[in-house]
């Protein structure tokens, strides 16, 4: 199980053409994949993440971006023994540029991790 390889272009295009519906699905699936990949982190479920993002009018989504980037750095360091710390960069790009860029960066990091395994 764990992470799935997805096309970065499809992540971007689906985010644009579905008028924000695909990013909700992306948040859910990445959170569930992270839970399967790292049970030791005791993460919340994907449905909880999506619900909290709606209830807090997107504020929890910003926190989710930070936590997801931090957890991805943890997985990369754990699996490849190469230090990785893109948390702040990814989060700032997601906040100040666009969340779609954050999703693309996250998927790129997941794809690179899967190639290195």
Whether residue 48 is contained in a domain is answered as yes
Which pLDDT score, from 0 to 100, does residue 1 have? 65
Q: Would the pLDDT of 82 be above 90?
A: no
Whether residue 2 is contained in a domain is answered as no
Q: How many structural domains is the chain composed of? A: 1
Which pLDDT score, from 0 to 100, does residue 84 have? 83
Mean pLDDT of 76-102: 92
**Can you give the residue range of the structural domain that contains 55?**
8-109
Residue closest to 102 by CA, chosen among 28, 29, 12: 12
Output the six-digit token pair for 37.
Answer: 């990949």
Whether residue 61 is contained in a domain is answered as yes
Average pLDDT, the chain: 94
Whether residue 29 is contained in a domain is answered as yes
Whether residue 82 is contained in a domain is answered as yes
Whether residue 114 is contained in a domain is answered as no
Whether residue 44 is contained in a domain is answered as yes
Encode pLDDT of 34-62 as tens digits.
999 999 999 999 999 999 999 999 999 99
Whether residue 117 is contained in a domain is answered as no
Spatial separation of the C-alpha atoms in residues 72 and 85, rounded to whole Å: 9
Q: How far, CA to CA in Å, does 14 sit from each of 8, 108, 111, 116?
A: 10, 16, 18, 26
Q: How far, CA to CA in Å, does 52 sit from each of 56, 62, 94, 100?
A: 6, 11, 18, 19
């Amino acid at each position: 199980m764990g992470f799935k390889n997805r096309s970065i272009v499809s992540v971007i295009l689906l985010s644009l053409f579905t008028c924000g519906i695909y990013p909700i699905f992306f948040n859910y699936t990445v959170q569930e994949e992270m839970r399967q990949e790292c049970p030791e982190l005791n993460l919340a479920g994907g449905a909880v993440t999506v619900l909290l993002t709606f209830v807090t009018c997107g504020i929890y989504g910003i926190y989710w971006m930070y936590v997801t980037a931090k957890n991805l750095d943890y997985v990369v360091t754990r699996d490849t023994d190469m230090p990785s710390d893109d948390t702040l960069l990814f989060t700032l790009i997601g906040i100040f540029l666009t969340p779609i860029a954050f999703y693309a960066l996250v998927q790129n990091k997941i794809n690179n991790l899967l190639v290195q395994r």
